[in-house]
């Protein structure tokens, strides 16, 4: 029995509370220090799943493709992220639909702070934190090149800050929608990279990713403006109350603070879009350079083929007359009249 209690501490989310509702009581959860133990357990689970995907899927594909060392590393990275993002998109979409966050957008800010979470929402956040924390030791296990480590560390840190921030500041509903949009765009990007590594002439999925990326950025910016600019300022409880989980909603009554936050959000989204546009311009430039070089090579090959000497007829020429190989003229002799 003691072992079972310890096992539940690692496996199941802690801090469950019975919240009275109109239909009776509903079991919900809040966060605490014991969550670190649960996250640690699922970090080991994520490491095991990472190894399974690598061993039974990616390594077998790599043996057939015979990729270079650089492409091999990028293929493994994209392969792992495709599996993770696809799972997260399906899981996150199921959560936001069943909890009614999409059908009722007002629920994103109504009754803030959202201290008490349903089981599936809290479990989703714990697994997300465990995955991105497991990515740190995986940099060593996967023997990632030194040039790639700063980029991957920056990506991991950004995800951890945003997910942990939404979890600790009781903005879990807004965080779920933002993660759904982000993971959807990332899934198409890494899927396009996998297809490109298998066939370098196939870049159609990059065009699909470009459309999805722009649409998700627009939805993200609209969601920020809706929640920060119009939703949170209308929350009834505007007093600072850390014990109840209300950390900063009172700040949104100040229009200067609200506009400053929205300006920072817009600047960040603009920087993301600028990097995206720069990437697309560089890709199109490389594509047109490749096409022009191919046309130049084709024209040069045609010119070389035309410059080849014409093949002569069989035999040899003598005084402008074609002779047969035995020295006789190929013309038919006229028969003398008898």
Q: CA distances (Å), 41 to each of 3, 44, 55, 172, in order?
A: 15, 6, 22, 22
| Residue 15 located in a structural domain | yes
Q: Is the pLDDT of residue 336 over 50?
A: no
23 burial via Cβ count (<10 Å: 0-12, 13-18, 19+): exposed
**Residue 237, domain member (yes or no):** no
Q: Report the number of distinct structural domains present in the chain.
A: 1
> What was the pLDDT predicted at 252?
65
Q: Is 296 a domain residue?
A: no
Average pLDDT over residues 281-290: 80
Residue 293 lies in a domain: no
pTM: 0.82
Residue 162 maps to a domain: yes
Mean pLDDT of 216-221: 92
Phi, psi dihedrals of residue 29, rounded to the nearest 5° = -135, 155
Query: Mean pLDDT lowest for which of 31-40, 132-141, 256-265?
Result: 256-265
Per-residue confidence at 325, pLDDT binned at 50, 70, 90? very low
Residue of 78, 83, 85 lying closest to 62 (CA atoms): 78
Q: What range defines the domain where residue 36 resides?
A: 1-207
**pLDDT at site 248:** 64
What the block records as the tokens of 162 is 């945003």
Instruction: Give tens-digit pLDDT for 194-212.
Output: 998 888 777 788 889 999 9
pLDDT tens digit sequence for 3-46: 777 888 888 888 888 877 777 788 899 998 999 999 999 999 99
pLDDT of the residue at 70: 82
First to last CA, the chain: 131
Residue 147 lies in a domain: yes
Helix (H, G, I), strand (E, B) or coil at 240: coil
| Residue 19 belongs to a domain | yes
Q: Strand 16-21 and strand 24-29: pairing?
A: antiparallel
- Taking the C-alpha atoms of residue 67 and residue 241, their distance in angstroms, rounded to an integer, is 56
Non-local (6+) Cβ contacts of 308 within 8 A are none
Structural domain contains residue 174: yes
- The average confidence (pLDDT) of the chain is 83
- Write out pLDDT tens, residues 62-98: 888 888 888 888 899 999 999 999 999 999 999 999 9
| CA pair distance 113, 116, nearest whole angstrom | 9
* pLDDT attached to residue 238: 61
């Amino acid at each position: 029995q003691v072992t079972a209690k310890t096992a539940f501490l690692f496996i199941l989310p802690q801090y469950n509370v019975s919240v009275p509702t109109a239909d009776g009581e509903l079991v919900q959860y809040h966060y605490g220090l014991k969550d670190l133990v649960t996250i640690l357990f699922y970090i080991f689970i994520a490491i095991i799943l990472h190894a399974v995907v690598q061993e039974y899927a990616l390594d077998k594909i790599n043996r057939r493709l015979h990729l270079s060392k650089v492409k091999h590393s990028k293929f493994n990275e994209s392969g792992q992220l495709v599996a993770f993002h696809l799972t997260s998109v399906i899981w996150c979409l199921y959560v936001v639909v069943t909890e009614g966050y999409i059908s009722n957008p007002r629920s994103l800010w109504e009754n803030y702070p959202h201290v008490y979470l349903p089981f599936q929402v809290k479990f989703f956040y714990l697994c997300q934190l465990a995955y991105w924390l497991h990515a740190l030791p995986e940099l060593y296990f996967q023997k990632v090149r030194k040039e790639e480590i700063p980029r991957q560390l920056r990506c991991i840190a950004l995800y951890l800050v945003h997910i942990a921030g939404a979890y600790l500041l009781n903005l879990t509903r807004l965080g779920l929608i933002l993660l759904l949009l982000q993971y959807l765009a990332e899934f198409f990007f890494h899927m396009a990279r996998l297809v490109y590594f298998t066939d370098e002439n196939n870049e159609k999925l990059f065009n699909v990713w470009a459309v999805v990326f722009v649409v998700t950025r627009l939805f993200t910016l609209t969601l920020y403006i809706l929640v920060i600019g119009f939703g949170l300022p209308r929350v009834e409880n505007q007093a600072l109350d850390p014990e109840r989980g209300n950390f900063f909603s009172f700040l949104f009554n100040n229009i200067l603070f609200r506009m400053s936050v929205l300006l920072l959000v817009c600047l960040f989204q603009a920087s993301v879009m600028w990097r995206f546009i720069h990437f697309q311009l560089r890709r199109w430039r490389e594509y047109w350079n490749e096409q022009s070089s191919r046309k130049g090579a084709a024209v040069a090959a045609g010119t070389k083929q035309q410059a080849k000497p014409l093949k002569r007829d069989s035999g040899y020429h003598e005084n402008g007359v074609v002779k047969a190989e035995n020295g006789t003229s190929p013309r038919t002799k006229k028969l003398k009249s008898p």
